[in-house]
C-alpha cells in the first residue's frame, strides 16, 4: 500500500484514476493545479507522484523542478503523464528527475504496474544504500556523491546513470540498454544522449571518472580496475629462445 499523489486536470475523467488506485489498495490524493499539488506533496509526503505535464496554472516540468529543489520532496519518485510521445519529451522528463513516463491514453493496469515498479526501485535494501568504489562514494538514500570526500553535484538523471552502471559493474551495458533502463526511451531510437551524459558524468567525477570505461562499438562498463585490461594487453612478451 502506497500514498499516491495525482496532479492532473482532466475534465473527461474526474476521480476515475484515484478510484482505480484505491481499488488497487493505495491511498490516493488529488490536485488539479501545480500549486495545489506542491502543497499536498509537502504536507502528505507521498510515496510516488503521478504528474501531468499540462496543468492549468504551470507546466508539469516546473512542478517537477520544484519537487526536486525542495529537500522535503526531492526523493519522491515522479511518474510523468503526457499526451505527447516524442523522444524529446521523454528525455526532458528524465532530465528533470522523472522515474518513469506514461503516454495518454494509457491502460490503467499498465499504469498500476509501472507504479509498483517505481516503488520497488525506490525501496532499495539497506545494504545497497551506500556504494563505495575507490575514492567514489554514492549514498543512494541521501542522493549524494562524493569523490575523495568532496561532494559532487549531479542531476537526477546523471545520478541514476551512475548508480545503474555501478550496480552492473564489470558488465558491459549497451547504449540501447541504458536508453531503455535509465531514460525509458526505445533502444532502437538513434540518439547521442547516452554518450553526451556519460561524458558529462565523467567530467564531474574527476579522478573517479576513470571507472567508467568505453567499450568501442558496444557501450559502457563500470570497472573497479579500469587499467587492468590495458595492462594485460601491454604485458611484455617472453623472449624467444
Q: Which of 23, 188, 12 is nearest to 111 (CA)?
A: 23
Confidence of residue 70 (pLDDT cuts 50, 70, 90): confident
Pick the last residue of a domain from 100, 122, 144: 122
* pLDDT bucket at 151, cuts 50 / 70 / 90: very high
As a whole number of angstroms, the distance between CA 102 and CA 114 comes to 9
Domain extent for 214: 126-231
Last residue of a domain, one of 86, 101, 122: 122
Does residue 205 sit in the same domain as residue 147? yes
The closest of 56, 80, 53, 45 to 156, measured between CA atoms, is: 80
The mean-pLDDT minimum among 105-109, 134-138, 194-198 falls in 105-109
Residue 204: per-residue pLDDT: 95
Residues 34 and 109 placed together within one structural domain of the fold: yes
Whether residue 209 sits in one domain with residue 138:
yes
Residues 170 and 192 in one domain: yes
184 Cβ partners below 8 Å, 6+ apart? 90, 94, 100, 101
Q: Is residue 107 assigned to a domain? A: yes
Claim to verify: residue 49 and residue 148 sit in the same structural domain: no
CATH code for the domain of 157? 1.10.10.10
43: buried, middle or exposed (CB in 10 Å: 19+, 13-18, 0-12)? exposed
CA dihedral (109, 115, 121, 124) in degrees, to 10, reads -120
Question: Which grid cell sits at 146?
Answer: 562524493
Q: Are residues 80 and 151 in the same domain?
A: no
93 shares a domain with 25: yes
**How far is 128 from 140, CA to CA, in rounded Å?**
8
- Residue 83, burial from CB neighbour count under 10 angstroms (0-12, 13-18, 19+): exposed
- Could you tell me if 63 and 155 lie in one domain? no
How much is the pLDDT for 31? 93
Is 241 within a domain? no
Total domains in the chain come to 2
- Look up the pTM and report it: 0.57
- Based on the fold, state whether residues 106 and 132 are members of the same structural domain: no
> Same structural domain for residues 93 and 138?
no
Domain match, 9 and 91 both: yes
**CATH number, domain with residue 91:** 3.40.50.2300
Residues 99 and 151 in one domain: no
What pLDDT is recorded for position 229?
45
Evaluate whether residue 237 is within a structural domain.
no
| pLDDT value for 152 | 92
Amino acid at each position: 500500500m502506497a500514498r499516491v499523489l495525482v496532479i492532473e486536470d482532466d475534465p473527461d475523467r474526474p476521480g476515475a484514476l484515484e478510484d482505480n488506485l484505491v481499488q488497487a489498495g493505495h491511498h490516493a490524493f488529488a490536485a488539479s493545479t501545480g500549486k495545489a499539488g506542491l502543497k499536498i506533496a509537502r504536507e502528505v509526503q507521498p510515496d510516488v507522484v503521478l504528474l501531468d505535464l499540462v496543468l492549468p496554472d504551470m507546466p508539469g516540468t516546473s512542478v517537477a523542478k520544484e519537487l526536486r529543489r525542495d529537500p522535503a520532496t526531492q526523493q519522491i519518485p515522479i511518474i510523468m503523464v503526457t499526451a505527447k510521445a516524442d523522444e524529446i519529451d521523454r528525455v526532458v522528463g528524465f532530465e528533470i528527475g522523472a522515474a518513469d513516463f506514461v503516454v495518454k491514453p494509457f491502460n490503467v493496469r499498465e499504469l498500476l504496474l509501472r507504479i509498483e515498479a517505481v516503488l520497488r526501485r525506490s525501496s532499495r535494501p539497506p545494504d545497497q544504500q551506500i556504494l563505495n568504489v575507490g575514492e567514489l562514494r554514492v549514498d543512494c538514500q541521501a542522493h549524494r556523491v562524493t569523490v575523495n570526500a568532496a561532494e559532487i553535484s549531479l542531476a537526477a538523471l546523471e545520478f541514476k546513470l551512475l548508480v545503474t552502471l555501478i550496480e552492473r559493474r564489470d558488465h558491459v551495458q549497451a547504449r540501447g540498454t541504458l536508453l531503455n533502463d535509465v531514460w525509458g526511451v526505445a533502444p532502437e531510437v538513434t540518439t547521442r544522449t547516452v554518450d553526451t551524459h556519460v561524458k558529462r558524468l565523467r567530467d564531474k567525477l574527476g579522478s573517479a571518472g576513470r571507472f567508467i570505461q568505453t567499450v568501442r562499438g558496444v557501450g559502457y562498463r563500470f570497472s573497479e580496475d579500469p587499467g587492468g585490461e590495458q595492462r594485460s594487453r601491454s604485458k611484455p612478451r617472453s623472449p624467444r629462445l
